[in-house]
C-alpha cells in the first residue's frame, strides 16, 4: 500500500467520525502543504500518514536524544501529527489508525530500553507495531520492533481511531490552530437527523477527554466500556504506570448512586485479581462520577468501601 493510498483511507475514516459527531469535515484538509503525498492538515496542523508495512516505520528527530523537543520532518517538511495506518492481513485496506502528536512519539522513542543491545540512536527510521487489543473498545498497544511480545509498559496502551479526542484536547488546553468545536450533544440538537445522546453518555465522553477533572493523570490511557476477563464491564477504565482507575458514570438519584457503588466495589475485586494486587492496594482507585452524589446513605456506604464520589457540574459539559 502506498502512502497516498493509506492517506486517502485514513482521511475517509477521520471525516466519517467528524461528520458523525456533528462537526465540520473541513477540519481535515487533504491538501499537502508541500510535495509530500503523505501529508495533510488536521485543524490547521500538519499530519503525516505512516502506511502499514510489516507494522510501521516512522521518521524521528534524532535531536530528541540530546533534549530537543523540535518537531520531526520528512521530505524537507516538518509535521506535528503522526497518523499511523493499521492494515488488515495483507495490508490491502486500513482498518484502524492511531493519531499521535510528535511529543507523544518522542516519549515512545525515549522510553525504548534496547532489549537486544541496539538503541538505534543512529537511525532516522524506527520500526514498530500497534496491536489491536479490542476493535469494539478501540483499544491498542504500542510496541517497538525489538521488544518481546510479553513486554508490557502500561504507558503504551492507547486509544485507536482517536481524531475526536485530539480535536477536543486542543480545544480544552488551548493549543495553537484554528480548531473550534462545540459539545457533540449541543451540535446534535441542531440536526434532526442525528440522535441526541443521553446525559450519561455525554458525561462519559467528558470524563474520558478530561480525566484531570476527577484527579486522574492526563497521560493515562482511557477505555470506554472496558471488559474485564470475568466478563464484567466498567463505564471507563483509566490505566497509567502509577494507578488503575475504575469509573462508573451515573446522572443522579440515590438509588442509581447506590447501585454504582455496589458495582464499582465488585469491579475493584476483579481488577485486583487480574493485576495480582491486594484488594485495597492504593494503586487501584474506584470512582462514581455523577451530576449529583449528595445523598446521606450513599456517602456512608462509599466511605465504608473506599469509593470516591465525584460530582460534576452539568453546565461544564455544554
**Residue 187 in domain:** no
The predicted pLDDT at position 210 comes to: 85
Identify whether the C-beta of residue 157 lies closer than 8 Å to the C-beta of residue 140. yes
**Residue 158 in domain:** yes
| Coil, strand or helix at 50 | strand
The predicted pLDDT at position 157 comes to: 86
Per residue in 92-105, pLDDT (tens digit) is 788 899 999 998 89
**Residue 43 in domain:** yes
The predicted pLDDT at position 35 comes to: 86
Same domain, 203 and 297: yes
Same domain, 18 and 79: yes
**Residue 169 in domain:** no
Three cell numbers at 133? 487489543
Number of domains within the chain: 2
**Residue 262 in domain:** yes
**Residue 231 in domain:** yes
In 10 A of CB 58, how many CB atoms?
21
**Residue 184 in domain:** no
What's the CATH code of the domain at 208?
Answer: 3.40.1350.10
Same domain, 10 and 157: yes
Report the interhelical angle of 296-304 vs 254-274 (nearest 10°). 10
Q: Residue ranges of the chain with pLDDT lower than 70?
A: 90-91, 169-197, 318
Whole-angstrom Cα distance, residue 60 to residue 122?
Answer: 11
Print the domain residue range for 147. 3-164
Same domain, 109 and 209: no
The CA-based dihedral angle spanning residues 208, 210, 216, 219, taken in that order and rounded to the nearest 10 degrees: 80
Per residue in 153-205, pLDDT (tens digit) is 777 888 899 898 888 765 543 333 433 333 333 343 344 444 445 788 889 98
**pTM (2 d.p.):** 0.56
Whole-angstrom Cα distance, residue 209 to residue 182?
Answer: 14
Same domain, 160 and 231: no
Three cell numbers at 215? 484527579
Amino acid at each position: 500500500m502506498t502512502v497516498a493510498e493509506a492517506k486517502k483511507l485514513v482521511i475517509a475514516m477521520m471525516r466519517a467520525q467528524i461528520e458523525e459527531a456533528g462537526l465540520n469535515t473541513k477540519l481535515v484538509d487533504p491538501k499537502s502543504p508541500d510535495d509530500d503525498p503523505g501529508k495533510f492538515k488536521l485543524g490547521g496542523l500538519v499530519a503525516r500518514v505512516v502506511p502499514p508495512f510489516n507494522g510501521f516505520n516512522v521518521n524521528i528527530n534524532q535531536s530528541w536524544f540530546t533534549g530537543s523537543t523540535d518537531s520531526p520532518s520528512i521530505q524537507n517538511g516538518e509535521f506535528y501529527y503522526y497518523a499511523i495506518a493499521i492494515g488488515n492481513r495483507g495490508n490491502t485496506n486500513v482498518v484502524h489508525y492511531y493519531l499521535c502528536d510528535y511529543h507523544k512519539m518522542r516519549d515512545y522513542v525515549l522510553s525504548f530500553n534496547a532489549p537486544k543491545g541496539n538503541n538505534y540512536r543512529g537511525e532516522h527510521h524506527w520500526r514498530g507495531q500497534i496491536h489491536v487489543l479490542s476493535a469494539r473498545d478501540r483499544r491498542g498497544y504500542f510496541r517497538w520492533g525489538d521488544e518481546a511480545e510479553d513486554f508490557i509498559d502500561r504507558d503504551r496502551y492507547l486509544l485507536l481511531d482517536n481524531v475526536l479526542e485530539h480535536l477536543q484536547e486542543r480545544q480544552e488546553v488551548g493549543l495553537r490552530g484554528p480548531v473550534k468545536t462545540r459539545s457533540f450533544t449541543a451540535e446534535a440538537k441542531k440536526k434532526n437527523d442525528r440522535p441526541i445522546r443521553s446525559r450519561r453518555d455525554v458525561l462519559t465522553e467528558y470524563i474520558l477527554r478530561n480525566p484531570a477533572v476527577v484527579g486522574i493523570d492526563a497521560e493515562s490511557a482511557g477505555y470506554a466500556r472496558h471488559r474485564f476477563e470475568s466478563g464484567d464491564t466498567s463505564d471507563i477504565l483509566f490505566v497509567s504506570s502509577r494507578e488503575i482507575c475504575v469509573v462508573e458514570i451515573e446522572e443522579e438519584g440515590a438509588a442509581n448512586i447506590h447501585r454504582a457503588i455496589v458495582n464499582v466495589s465488585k469491579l475493584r475485586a476483579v481488577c485486583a485479581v487480574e493485576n495480582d494486587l491486594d484488594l485495597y492496594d492504593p494503586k487501584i482507585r474506584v470512582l462514581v462520577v455523577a451530576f449529583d452524589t449528595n445523598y446521606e446513605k450513599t456517602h456512608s456506604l462509599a466511605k465504608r468501601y473506599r469509593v470516591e464520589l465525584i460530582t460534576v457540574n452539568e453546565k461544564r459539559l455544554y
